[in-house]
Structure 1
Amino acid sequence: MSSAFFTREKDELVPAPHARGPWSPDMLHGRLLGGLAARAIEEHHAEPGLRFARLTVDLFRNSPLLPVTVETVLIRDGRRIRVADATISTAQGVIGRAGAVLLREGEHPEGERAIVTPAWDEPAPDGPPVTGTGWTPPFDLWRLTPWGEPGPARVWMRERYPLVDDEPLTPIVRLALAADFASPLSNAQPDGLRFINADYTMTLARPLEGELIGVEGTGHVGAGGVATGQVTMHDTAGPLGFCVVTAVANAVALGGR
């Protein structure tokens, strides 16, 4: 059997058992929807020199482990900007959507910047990833800071399985999968995660280099059961972008959106 999260059968993508998320054993993991959306938009609308600069993924409906379809549409195609959307559906209806902005590469302005995001001082991991108890992440994860403690939170991540069949993971698909981790990293408390994210928006200045992705939680604001969190995304070459999530309080451990 394939180790991929999804197997293509005609026009549908059939999830494997390990495509489930942490909230319920029969619930499709939301992070995979972002990966599928990025994959489809890249396949149909990307081209050399036209780079993903933003990807917004709306996760507004939970889904069981049902076959998935992804449709894309070109919204705008200009000389320097291209905008495309993706809709993710199952037999139960639409379960998510995504919007991407792709920008044309060009000459970068010289000179100093008033604000610069520094590279973090975390070397690439050289030990085994964490295994945890209960739901085990279907990706490699190295915790660099205590879970839910005050201050910036840091992890290294690396995908372990293909997304669809035996297709190699592209840099943007790897980032789209990792970006969903902005929610647990920015919203976690020492005794666990009490928020479930409704979306995430990733902004990128450059493509990913290699397979390792560093995620650094740098902010959380919450009130009245609603929260927003932010992270900086790194690779071994330095920072490459940011991700912001919105989340709703999830007092019941296995509650839904």
Structure 2
Amino acid sequence: MTSDTDSSTALGLDRDTPAFYRRLGPGLYAPTVHVQGAWRDDEQHMAPVSGILAHELDLHEPREGMQLARISFDILGMIPARPSRVEVRTTRPGRTIELVEATMLVDDRAVVRAEAWRLAAHDSQAAAGVELAPIPGPDEMEPWSGTDTWEGGYIEGLEFRVDPERRPGRTRAWIRARNALVDGESCSPTADLVRLADTANGIAVRVSPREWMFPNVDLTVHLFREPARGWVGFDTSVTMGPTGLGITSTTLHDELGPVGRAEQILTVRQLPGG
């Protein structure tokens, strides 16, 4: 098997830039080895892709007092690890509620489409309440090497803490990235969280990825407040049905507590010889 180092070099992926992407121009990005996918070495992992789409949504017609409440991604096919362009447009303008769409294209082919609801901020402290359960902090969990289960440059660049009582299909974990989203740029705390959310499908695996494929074809993140920057917590369960479908369901956390939910639908297929 070709090593990650050899394959990324052959693909021309940048190993020196300490970020997921280098900006090449307005809406145009070069992926580095740190976005390399877990299923194929010539693809981008969906997690940093979702982060760059969230970043471009943040940059599109920003207005004071608007906040991202939901972002939903549809994965339209394999995402090649080549220069990627993001196009953004407002599809439903409004003073307090608006819908914005972003599409990533590689070689002029749409590979991921995102829709985001941005809602106006209001004082709702008197009605505030959270029914999502907290999880132990990262210092209370054990280090884990994601490369024991997965391959690819994206996984190599993450730091994990996991529940020692984790089991197949169910875990609690904390993740943070060692690399910035875009070289030389800052991103919002929301984009910082979104760029890790897709990792949920790889931390509570129910079956071995060496015997089964179970990639997600979508990702939806709902937030009820802006997250704090830092570790991202996952309280994740994986359900697989008998006809090739699965669901990965996650409560997302920052170090202040629960912050939202993420859902992914899976296509489950046994690998040849698995």
TM-score (norm 1): 0.87
Aligned to 1:197: 216
Query: What is the CA–CA distance in structure 2 between the aligned matches of 1:219 and 1:149, rounded to whole Å?
Result: 8
Relative to its length, the structure with more helix (as a share) is: 2
Contact 2:166 2:172 (8 Å CA) reproduced: no
Contact 1:58 1:97 (8 Å CA) reproduced: yes
Aligned to 2:38: 22
Contact 1:196 1:250 (8 Å CA) reproduced: no
Q: SS state of the match for residue 217, structure 2?
A: strand
Instruction: Please report the RMSD computed on the Cα atoms of aligned residues, expressed in angstroms.
Output: 2.4
Structure-2 change in CA distance of 1:236 and 1:176 (3 Å):
same
Aligned to 2:8: none
Equivalent of 2:139, from 101, 125, 129? Answer: 125
Aligned to 2:20: 5
Aligned to 2:79: 63
Query: What is the CA–CA distance in structure 1 between the aligned matches of 2:117 and 2:44, rounded to whole Å?
Result: 26
- Report deviation, 1:162: 1.3
Query: What is the CA–CA distance in structure 2 between the aligned matches of 1:149 and 1:13, rounded to whole Å?
Result: 36
- Report deviation, 1:100: 0.4
Q: What residue ranges of structure 1 are gaps of 5+ in the alignment?
A: none
Q: Is the aligned partner of 1:242 residue 2:261?
A: yes
TM-score (norm 2): 0.82
Q: What residue ranges of structure 2 are gaps of 5+ in the alignment?
A: 1-15
Q: Which amino acid aligns with 1:206?
A: R
Count residues in correspondence: 249
Query: What is the CA–CA distance in structure 1 between the aligned matches of 2:237 and 2:146, rounded to whole Å?
Result: 24
Equivalent of 2:232, from 213, 228, 252? Answer: 213
Q: SS state of the match for residue 49, structure 2?
A: helix
Q: Is the aligned partner of 1:35 residue 2:51?
A: yes
List structure 1 segments (4+ residues) > 4 angstroms apart after TM superposition. Answer: 126-129, 145-148
Fraction of identical pairs, as percent: 24
Alignment of 1:103-182 (within 5 A): 103-108=119-124, 110=126, 116-120=131-135, 122-125=136-139, 130=145, 132-133=147-148, 135=151, 137=155, 138-145=157-164, 148-149=167-168, 152-182=170-200
Structure-2 change in CA distance of 1:69 and 1:80 (3 Å):
same
Query: What is the CA–CA distance in structure 1 between the aligned matches of 2:147 and 2:114, rounded to whole Å?
Result: 31
Contact 2:206 2:238 (8 Å CA) reproduced: no
More moved, 229-238 vs 167-176? 167-176
Contact 1:74 1:85 (8 Å CA) reproduced: yes
Query: What is the CA–CA distance in structure 1 between the aligned matches of 2:114 and 2:78, rounded to whole Å?
Result: 15
